[in-house]
Structure 1
Amino acid sequence: MDDYLEKTIRAFKAKLEEAESEVIRIKKSINDMCAIGGAPPMYADAQLNPETRGEIGFANDDFYGKPLATCVKQILERNKASGGGAMSVEEIYQILLAGGYHFDGKEENRKTILRTAMRKNVDFHKLPNNNYGLRSWYPKIKGGGSDSAQDADEGETDNPATEENDVNLF
């Protein structure tokens, strides 16, 4: 690699570190506001520590050939184990891609496919902030599936997807 390219990469990595620091600062501010309001923090300490962030990394082939629901469960479980919790569709999607998951269909439809599969699977629960967690983390939540009034308004069905048939969805 030539010197110019190496310098450019270093410059971009420095910008990335600055941006990540800003994200951490904002998350800490949100946690502070939660504390003032008497609510629990929205972000775990592990998510606010640059040394522990990203510890849920997967190998670039961990999800290749596996059912979508299995992969999403692994992502959420590892995130929880590293001090995180529920995650956004975007976060899950990026980890799936980095882990080698192969989506069938057009690229522009992949996040919709992921979101729909999670909404229809009883193992996942959609939180009010649009993040998804495992239903087992929320034992006081009643009912099956992670559908909401919004899902019903969108004409969603309440047919839970299983690992066997979620592959056929794609």
Structure 2
Amino acid sequence: MTTFLLAVHVIAAIVAVGPVTVAASMFPPAARRALGAPDDADARTTARLLHRVCRVYAVVGVAVPVFGFGTANAMGVLGDTWLIVSIVLTALAAGVLALLVLPRQSAVLDALGGTVATEGPGGGMPVDGRAATVRLAMSTGIFNLLWATVTVLMIARPGSTTGV
């Protein structure tokens, strides 16, 4: 059963988290192109598609920690430090995605649609295309760095007996 849970956990991570990290990274430059050429429908469509990929796969990505907890329980490592650190970093990554990346993408898309968008809790600040995409790229980079760190911890597992 452990092998099955681990396989599903790894496949879910590849299938769900991979597309989010790629689409989120591609969104800021695509949005800059769309903001720079308001008449370019293809650029707007690309930005909307990338945002949709991020939203949909973020929901699918919930399977990663669900199967991760099942795998950790089956392996008897729920109390190991490397796993606890990974759980905290995963929660931080999810928070960055849900509270920074997706809302900022939505704000940029609102600006592309011609409506006045606001950004951040409480709003009140119109979206400045360049500044918004730079902040978005930074948030996306933090999200990706957190996931990369979790991946390294999952492979190296400090204190494990795998010889790594």
Normalised TM-score (structure 2): 0.30
Structure with the bigger percentage of helix: 2
Point out which structure has higher relative CO (alpha carbons under 8 A, 6+ apart). 2
